[in-house]
Structure 1
Amino acid sequence: MGASEEAITLKIIIIGMGVIFMLSLSVIVFFIIYQRRLLAQQKKHQKIESDYQKELLETAILSQEEERSRVAKELHDEVGAMLTTTKLYFGQITPSLPEIEFEEITNKLRAFLDDMIQSVRGISQDLRPVILEKLGLIEALQSLVQTINDTGGIQINFKDNTSRIVPKPKELNLYRIVQELINNTLKHAKAKNVDIEIKHENEALVLLYKDDGIGLDHKTLLNKKGLGLKNIESRLSVLSGTMNFLKPKKGMAIRIVC
C-alpha cells in the first residue's frame, strides 16, 4: 500500500507540476502576444500621429505659400499697375509743358500715390492688423466684428469675459482662427447670427464660437477639408491647443482651449 500511495502522490505531483508549467507557459505566451499587440498598436498610433503632424505641417506650408501668392498678386495687380501708370505720367512732364497740363498731371499723380499708399496699407493690414499690434486681441476682434456687422449680411455678437491680458504670442494665431471661423460661416453656413465668447478658465484661454447655420455633417468633420479646419488645427498645434465640436440644436458650435 505504501508503494501504491507514493506512486499516486508522485503522479499528483507530476500532474500538478505539469498544470503549473502549462499555466505558466500560457501566461508567458499571453504576455508575449499582449506585448506584441501593444507594441503594434503603439507603432500604429505613432504612425497616425506622425502622419497627422506631417499633414498639419503641409497645411501650414501650403497656407503660407497661398498667403505669399496672394500678396504677390495684389502687389503686381494693384501697386504694380499704379506704379506703371505713375511712371507714364512722370514721362509726360517736360520743361515745355503748359502750366495747366502740369497741374492736371500732378493732381493725377497725387491721386495715384494716395491710392498706392492705401493699397500698401491694406496689404500690410491683412498680414498683421495694426489694431492688433497696437491695442491687442480683444480690440482687434471687436473691430473685426464691427466691420462685418456694418455690412448688414450677418449679426455677430462678441463677448469679452477675459480676466487678464492675452499673451502676445497667442494673439495673432487666435485672431486668424476667429477670422477663419467667420469666413467659414459666411461661405458655407448660411447663418444669420454668430456668437463669439472669449474667456479664461483657470490658466487656459477658451474661445467659444457658435452660428445658427446649417451645421457640419459627420463626413465633413472626419475629412476636415475645404473649410479651413486644417488651418485652424495647424495654428492650434503651435499654441498646444485643442478644438472640440459641440452638438447644438442648430448650426455649428466649437470650443477651443489654448
Structure 2
Amino acid sequence: MQRITKGKGIHFPKNSNEATIVVDQSGKISYMNQHACQIFGLTEKNIKDYQINHLLPDIVLDKVEEGAITQLFAKHSSGKQFPLLFRTNYFSLGEHPYFFISFFDLKENNPFSELVDLKFALDESTIVAFTDKHGVIQYVNDKFCEVSKYGREELLGKDHRIINSGYHSKEFMSHLWKTISSGKVWSGEIKNKAKDGTYYWVDTTIVPFLDEHGKPYKFLAIRKEITDYKRVVEELKKSMQELVDLKFALDTSSIVAITDQKGMIKFVNEQFSNISKYSKEELLGKDHRIINSGHHSKEFFKDLWKTISSGKVWKGEIKNKAKDGSYYWVDTTIVPFLDEEGKPYQYLAIRYEITERKKVEVQLQQMMTKIIDVQEEERKRLSRNLHDGIGQNLYSHLISINILQSQVEHPLIDQLQVEATELIEEVRKISQELRPSVLDDLGLVPAIRSYLIRYSDHYKIDVQFDCYLNVRLTANKEITIYRIIQEALTNIRKYAETEKVSVTLREAEDTLRVVIEDMGKGFDVSNTNRGVGLFSMDERAKSVGGDLLIQSEIGKGTKILLEVPL
C-alpha cells in the first residue's frame, strides 16, 4: 500500500470546493472542511467526537483501494442516508498515519448522480449478480448474499449451480442458457436453494453484455424475490381447486341459485333448471315467485324474508311448482352475503330435493292416522263391551245380592255387596278411560269438563278450565284434542310435582288453540328423549293437520300448545 508522506504540518484551504476529511488510524475525524460539514449537516465545532463510521457506516479504511473512486452510502446528521463517491489517500505526520478522504458532491450536477442513485435503489430492492461468459460469478450485491445466505467470498468464482434447487428440469436450464448465449434477454421465475436448505423463488431477468462481434462477454442477472408471492399463488391455486371441487360436488348434488338483495335470480345451476323444468334464460332476472306452489302462507314467506334480510341464515322445507305444473319439495338453506355495513347484497340458496321423502312422510302419516283411528275404534268397542256387557252383568249381580241381603243377614253377603259395588265402579272408570260416552253424546267441551272434575277430585290437583269454543268439531279432531289433554294431564300428575294446572281452549279465526300449562318443576326439552306419551301426542296432532309445541324450563313449569285447524 503506497503511502504519501508529508512534512511536519499540513494545511487545507477552507475555501476548497472539494469536500475533504482527515481521519487518524483509529477512525477518529481529525479535520473536516466546511464543504464536508455542509454535506453531512455538521459544523467544524461539533466534529470533535465523531468517528468516520458515524458518517460512512460501511467503510473499512484498511480495505479501501488507495486512489480508487468508491461509492458508499453516507449518513447525514439527521439520520437520512444518501449515496457518495469518494477517493482515499494515505499520508503520515511524523510516525502517525492518516487517511485523506475527498468526496464528490452528487448534488451539484455531478454526471454520476443518477447512476449512483439508480445503483442505490437497485441494491436496496433487487438481487444483482454479474457472471463472465462461462457463468462464473464475478460480482454479487448484499441483497444476493442476504437472500441466498452465502457470504460474498463463498459465491465469487462459483457458478449458479451453488444455489440450484433441483426443481427445474434440464430442458428448462438448457433453454435459459441457449437464450442468453445467443445474445437475447431471458426472463422467468426460478426456484433456488439457500445455504441453510430453505427454498426461495426469484423473478429473474438475465441481460447479456455483447462485444464488438455480438458475442456475450458477461451477463447481468437481476432478480426480485417472489417467495411470498409464489406461496400465495400456490395457496390460491389450492383454494381455487377446492372451490372448483366444491362447486362440482354442489352442482352434482344440489339445486343452487344466487339472487340479488331484492330476490332477483342472478344465477342457477343445471340442477335448478332440471327440477323446475325452466331454462336458465326463463329464470334469470325473475324472482322465486315463478316457482311458487301456493302451498305456503304469506306469513311463511314473510318470516323467511325477514330472517334473511336481517343477515341470518334461513332453513326449512318448501313446496315448489315446476313449469309443467308438477309439484316438488326442497329442503332449503338460504345464506345472506353481507357487505362491509353488515347488509345483505345477495343470497345463496342451496336446495336438496325431498319430494320422495315427503311422499313417504305423507304415507307414514296416513298409516299413523289409520292406526290411531283403529285404536280409537277398538277403545270404543271395548268401552261399550265393558259398559254393556260386564258392567250390566255386575249390576244384575248387585241387584241379586241386595235381594238376598234383604232376606238373609250374613257378613259374607254384606262383603259381596261392597265388592260388587267396587267392581262396578272400576269397570265404569275403565270404560270412561277407554272412551268417554259423553264425548260421543254431548261433544268435546262437556267431555273435558267431566274428565277434569274426576281428575281434580281423584288426584287433588286444582284445574282451571277456560273455554272459548262455540262450534262442534269433527269426531277425529274432538277425540284428538281430548286424548292430548288427557295425556298431558297424566304426565303432569306423574312428573310435574304441582297442585295447579290450567287448560284453555280458544277459537281464533280458522284455528283452535289449546294451552295446557303448569307451574311445576319443568324439564330441559333439548336433553329429554320423547317417550311414548309425547310421541303419541305429536302424532295425534299431525293426524288432524295440527301442530304441537312443548315449552319447558327447569324450575319454571311446562306449557303445551296445540293448534288445530277448524
TM-score under structure 2 normalisation? 0.30
Q: Which residue of 1 aligns with 2:3?
A: none
Q: Which residue of 2 aligns with 1:230?
A: 535
> Aligned partners of 1:193 and 1:126: how far apart in 2?
22
> Aligned partners of 2:525 and 2:482: how far apart in 1?
26
**Greater share of residues in helix:** 1
Matches within 5 A, 1:6-85: 29=248, 31-35=251-255, 41-43=352-354, 46=357, 50=361, 53=364, 57=368, 64=375
Matches within 5 A, 1:84-163: 117-151=424-458, 153-163=460-470
Question: Number of residues paired by the alignment?
Answer: 209
Distance 1:32 1:142, change over 3 A: same
Q: Which residue of 2 aligns with 1:194?
A: 501
Q: Which residue of 1 aligns with 2:549?
A: 244
Name the SS of the counterpart of 2:516 in structure 1: strand
Q: Which residue of 2 aligns with 1:17?
A: none
Among candidates 223, 232, 253, match of residue 559 of structure 2 = 253
- Specify the structure having the higher radius of gyration (Cα): 2
Name the SS of the counterpart of 1:246 in structure 2: strand
> Aligned partners of 2:363 and 2:557: how far apart in 1?
27
Counterpart AA for 2:254: Y
Among candidates 456, 471, 475, match of residue 168 of structure 1 = 475
> Aligned partners of 2:502 and 2:251: how far apart in 1?
53
Counterpart AA for 2:507: H
Deviations 1:176-207 (A, max 9, x none): 11010000001011122111100111111110
Q: Are the aligned partners of 2:492 and 2:518 in contact in 1 as well (CA < 8 Å)?
A: yes
Matched, 1:214 2:525: no
Distance 1:251 1:133, change over 3 A: same
Deviation at 1:152, TM superposition (A): 6.0
Matched, 1:182 2:489: yes
Distance 1:238 1:118, change over 3 A: same
Distance 1:190 1:165, change over 3 A: same
> Aligned partners of 1:253 and 1:212: how far apart in 2?
9
> Aligned partners of 1:104 and 1:190: how far apart in 2?
42
> In percent, how many aligned pairs have the same letter?
25
Deviations 1:122-173 (A, max 9, x none): 3322221122122211111111112222246321111001132333331112
> Aligned partners of 1:152 and 1:123: how far apart in 2?
16
Q: Are the aligned partners of 1:190 and 1:213 in contact in 2 as well (CA < 8 Å)?
A: yes
Counterpart AA for 1:251: G
Q: Are the aligned partners of 2:525 and 2:551 in contact in 1 as well (CA < 8 Å)?
A: no
Distance 1:108 1:152, change over 3 A: closer
Which structure has more RCO (C-alpha within 8 Å, separation ≥ 6)? Answer: 1
**Greater share of residues in strand:** 2
Counterpart AA for 1:46: R
Gaps of 5+ in 1: 1-24, 90-99
Q: CA-atom RMSD, angstroms?
A: 4.8
Q: Which residue of 1 aligns with 2:337?
A: none
Deviation at 1:255, TM superposition (A): 1.1
Distance 1:105 1:252, change over 3 A: closer
Q: Which residue of 1 aligns with 2:144?
A: none
Q: Are the aligned partners of 1:163 and 1:199 in contact in 2 as well (CA < 8 Å)?
A: no
> Aligned partners of 1:124 and 1:153: how far apart in 2?
22
